[in-house]
Amino acid sequence: MAVWNNETVHNVGSRAKGTLGDFQKFILRGNVVDLAVGIMIGAAFSGVVNALVGDVVTPIIPLGNTGLSGWAYKVPWGGTVHI
């Protein structure tokens, strides 16, 4: 059975508070908060772009033809490039 004295518990508690205080100072610096906000905005913007492409752009592609066989670009010097 372990015996804990008050001094040991107090030392551990004060070291834990010191570590948490240092972590709080690190987190509250401007650069870390700005980085976190930037990542969240980037993730939201990525979702908007994926929804726009999936729901608006992709359904427009097959309207011209049922397949991609008719998609060709005529090169001005006479050749044809098939995409």
| pLDDT single digits (tens) 24-75 | 788 777 788 888 899 999 999 999 999 998 888 887 777 766 566 666 666 6
CB 60 within 8 A of CB 53: no
Task: Using DSSP, state whether 78 is helix, strand or coil.
Answer: coil
61: part of which helix (H) or strand (E)? none
pTM assigned to the model:
0.41
CA dist 76 → 22, 80, 81 (Å): 67, 9, 11
User: Does the pLDDT value for residue 83 go beyond 60?
Assistant: no
